[in-house]
Amino acid sequence: MIRLEARTMYPEQALLGEGPVWHGDTLLWVDILRGRLLRSIDETTVELRAFDEPVSAVFPRSGGGYALLVNDRVEIVDAELRTTATVPVLPSGGELRLSDGAVGAAGELWFGSMRHDLAPGGALHRLRAGETEATVVRSDLGMANGIAFAADFSALYFVDSAERTVTVFDYDPETTEIANPRVLIEIDPGLGTPDGIAVDAVGGVWVSLWSGGRVRRVELDGRWSQEILVPATNVTSCAFGGPNLQTLFITSATVELDGEALAAQPAAGSIFGITLPIGGVVQQEATV
């Protein structure tokens, strides 16, 4: 297996950094538990907007602005970050919040829900353009987490952190339906817990490993082929960006780290990165 090391790109101390997405020449991401939407560019990170609720993902929209996963709902904001519409998804004040997500071929949103206390329970949801209600596509999940599409939109990849699996579904870009689920890989507990994922241009799936301090690439036959070591234990997600989309940006967290652990890994909560010979693909913009 090829082993590489990531470097610190944007120093931060995010409580729960997540949801990186490359848009234009900018890296967008969130600090979930602090409710912060962030932008990193030219070695500088700025806060675009702060909420008093968890914000778990950001998706650039084709018409400008963004779609955000805010606690129990999808919130649409314009280019000035003003809220223009909301789509309720979960009961307000309930036990669940929205988690990770991705944009499908038609610009529809796919996202998971999970319990605040991290116990098993949640679902996989879809929201299409023009809809005022999200569809529950899969229910009774352990812990819905990373979602990503194949470069040609032939497949959807989904992480269930509680089950420690990456599952692949056939995806129909015309109907936006999924079918034929099969487990691509089940992660050994010694490696960490699977979290966010990214898919490269030739089909490799990069899996962030919470408590494992690494990101690993799994081939379509289920074999590990590459490993990126990260100087932070709690690795949360990753996304391709930068020149030629050949930089893998990696988010991390300080949550659950005590004083001793934080002293041993002072870069925890930062954005890390590494330039790879394999690039990613331009991410689809949302049409919701």
Query: Residue 84, Cβ neighbours under 10 Å: how many?
Result: 10
Determine, yes or no, domain membership for 190.
yes
What pLDDT is recorded for position 251? 99
3-state secondary structure at position 71: coil
Tell me how far apart the alpha carbons of residues 184 and 166 are, in angstroms, rounded to a whole number: 6
Mean pLDDT of 210-230: 98
SS3 101: strand
pTM for this model (two decimals): 0.97
Binding residues for substrate, as ranges, are: 97, 117
Q: Is 79 a member of any domain?
A: yes
Residues forming the annotated binding site for a divalent metal cation? 18, 145, 195
* pLDDT tens digits along 122-157: 999 999 999 999 999 999 899 999 999 999 999 999
- Enumerate the known binding-site residues: 18, 97, 117, 145, 195
Q: Give domain status of residue 199, yes or no.
A: yes
Q: Does any domain span residue 244?
A: yes
Band of pLDDT at residue 42, cut at 50, 70 and 90: confident
What pLDDT score does 140 carry?
85
Domains: count for the chain: 1
**97-124 pLDDT, tens digit each:** 999 999 999 999 999 999 999 999 999 9
In the predicted model, what is the mean pLDDT of the chain?
Answer: 97
Cα separation of 191 and 114, whole Å? 22
In a domain, 137, yes or no: yes
Contacts of 271 (CB under 8 A, 6+ apart): 8, 9, 10, 12, 17, 20, 27, 29, 40, 45, 249, 250, 251, 252
Tell me the per-residue pLDDT of 75-100, one tens digit each, with 9 for 90 and over: 999 999 999 999 999 998 899 999 99
d(CA 183, CA 76): 33
pLDDT digits (tens, 9 = 90+) for 51-83: 999 999 999 999 999 999 999 999 999 999 999
Does residue 285 belong to any structural domain of this protein?
Answer: no
Residue 43 has pLDDT above 90, yes or no: no
Name 226's Cβ contacts closer than 8 Å, sequence gap at least 6.
Answer: 1, 2, 3, 4, 204, 216, 217
Q: Report if residue 280 sits inside a domain.
A: no
Q: What is the CATH number of the domain that holds 97?
A: 2.120.10.30
Instruction: Please name which of 116, 125, 122, 13 lies closest in space to residue 71, comparing C-alpha atoms.
Output: 116
Judged by phi (left if over 0) then psi (alpha if -120 to 50, else beta), residue 71 lies in left
In-domain check, residue 197: yes
Domain that holds residue 263: 2-275
Q: So what's the pLDDT on residue 93? A: 87
Per residue in 172-190, pLDDT (tens digit) is 999 999 999 999 999 999 9
Mean local confidence (pLDDT), 42-49: 92
**Which residue among 31, 72, 160, 195 is the active-site one?**
195
What does the block give as tokens for 75?
């919130």
195 counts as catalytic = yes
Dihedral of alpha carbons 195, 214, 26, 55, sign: positive
